[in-house]
Structure 1
């Protein structure tokens, strides 16, 4: 009888025995665990909230100290340097550089501007970007609008100066209005201290190492985020934060429901900036706070279950072991590993093993027969395709020889027959189908020499051969049919001199052969039919050659390779042959011959 699955897990015999004997004890201890959990739940929530508030206060103090240091740095630049300078003949670059070097771990840059946006000094020394109008920057406008205050911006990318390393830094800008002395005349300027946002982020990242779900974020008085551990997800719209509401909370703990989840929010204002440091404690975190209680209850359950499981495991193992071994042997066969189907155990299990072993042997024999049959069929098809091209080529070549003999051009006929012999030596290639590109290009050159004699040099042949391509693999006799078409259906009979180009090159890891003529060209609708089987053949072009080459290449190298044809009437035709760049050696040739 088939045993139904249990939560998607097959119910083995051992599983049934173990689970049935432990279910009662687990149920009893679970009731005890629930009671214990409820006793400590409320008290634990209170402790966790107080702990989070204390943590937030420490972070607020550290952050406040950091910001006070930055404010002190701004005061030092202003009162110790800017106040004492006459900017009509002096600058503060040296003092600013010294302060920058002393605080470079926490600073990105210092800069001093006139009210009109003119740069007076910066550290580290940098070239100001062209077309940068600092008066449009929010930190500049804030400082210019309220000259008596210091202004802290939200994080942004510092893009005021050219950086030779093309790095862009996230900064928090501290800006203030300052009084400048220029030749005895008082004017206004803006002092900018760009703090390294990473310093603030690292400080808060250390707090947010808690993987249980509690986290801390920082926002300004309007609720705009300054730091958030999930900032990328928030910017991408994957998650949301209740920062606008939290910015209006008074310092202390608050309960809220956000996106259907109950959570506690602890808020503390950071020094004089108006920033809000917000600690979020999800409801799930309180459950984790009761971990010790749950561990106690769970430990009791597990101990009871383990004790019972240990007692009945011996009996269950004896019953289930043969089935486990049988299942393991079948799993190995599924993974393609060589193994024998297990036979053992009770009579029923032995019968099942023998039956499965018999079926596996029959399947393996059938698969070998199918593979052998498909390989023989593939080789037969390749041989049939190869045989089509030889009569086609021989007919055209002998036709040329007969024409010259009839014209009593015996020397030309001897030359053509000699070249024809060279062609057939390469064509035969000792029975090989895969040859080197060197041999294929030599075959093409011999063929074109024969045709140029026949057509009285009525066309010109150009070669652009990258020497690197000559030692790669190709299927033999793929260029000759395309060159033949270029002559007969491209440049033959042209009033002007015809030209045929043969190019061979390596492009993006592929071997690309291009045959281009400046002949009559082919209409677009007929180009689409050239490589389609069973379609009406075009009025111009070979009905056998191109399709033969296409099929031989794809049978050998795959459907992603083959011919690409482009043509326009009265502009000519271009045929590109795309092949994989496989170096020619005996190992690769043998592998390709065998279709591997």
Structure 2
């Protein structure tokens, strides 16, 4: 499991994970966007193509209608259907269009009046059963367009035709009569307009009339044979629009347009699986794109993580060796800028630690025999340990001036503490001692408090028992100020009061209850509550040497702070004595 915690693995894995997730999200968004766009474009393209077919048919029907109107007007104006002029005019009209098959006028009973070109009618044509004939009789004022059918009126080759029919007026010897005019147009033109339209490999266009009869279908023979089916009932419910259906398990897109004015419908059919071919190609592209990106990111992540982790791992191995006591282990200084700077600063810090440790070892060894008892009784080893840790942190942070200040104050603190074996020092030295202690503590507690030290000039040369202020001040810091939310304040003063030397230590800390004050100077030791030789030790030392009239007094209020007063006799420095 430790391999998964290494920085190289974490960097590489994070790099790949973020990239893969990003690529997947982007690929998913692109796939949906392209898929929807492809489908929308296919639908739009179908609509445009079907619209074009519908427009072409409308134009063709319009032309057919115009020709029909010309033929009808020509017949209506002719004084006799049998005149040679009429025949010549109709022949001229026939020559203008290649898709005209025939022009004929029949009586309402179905008898032939005139036809161009001149051809003999087939017997048994049953004209009254022809849809175009009945439509003209039923709607005499409306032009009817028939579905494609075999032209079987005259003895000529059979052709697929579309018949335009309408009741008309013709003249015979100046007399007007009502009949049915029919113009047959070759269906080949409509077939060509529709057959050239395809959607993909299998899509097509087909046409139905307003009654649902198929006008054109590219697979008409299959339709008539019952081998292919079109849902004409649903198509008839649409004039314009599009929808999707399913035929034989295949999804199809259907687009419908109506041809005006004849009511035909142009229906475009496209198969979605051909559209999905584009999606499949897109899927393949995105898959390969993802694989290539992962390989590239993997190689890049391995390279970058190795560049970052290798110097850090070398530095970690060196630190581990030093942690095992090999302080002379060389520190590798290489790698990226940040790692190189870290190595250099760690190297500087290690040199300073070595120097400090050597200095402390020398000092301690030199004074060990003569002052061991004093140090064991008066110095809290935790103070030295915490001070050194604070110095190490200062060095690590590059705060060399603060570190020098702390080390200087620590040195002077010990020098005054030892005092060449003397137990009594001047008030000035004791205040200097506590000043260096406060300097160290302000650095350790990151300026959580500030302090003032004041003394009357006359008391500076008085004698005092040494190391009596440090335990009191330490107690104020640890139990009064350290847990405060606001910045603390410690005031230290020395003066003469009622003929006694008075040291006053006041703080604005958390304060103590009455029960805590009653327990504070009892003889039961409590190392967890004390600091250094402790408050009780100081009070006991004073009273043992000077008597019960001297010692420590406390005043304290919860959340207000604590004031400690130490009373000593007035003694001039020239009269110092030993305990």
> Structure 1 length as normaliser, TM-score?
0.42
| Structure number, greater radius of gyration | 2
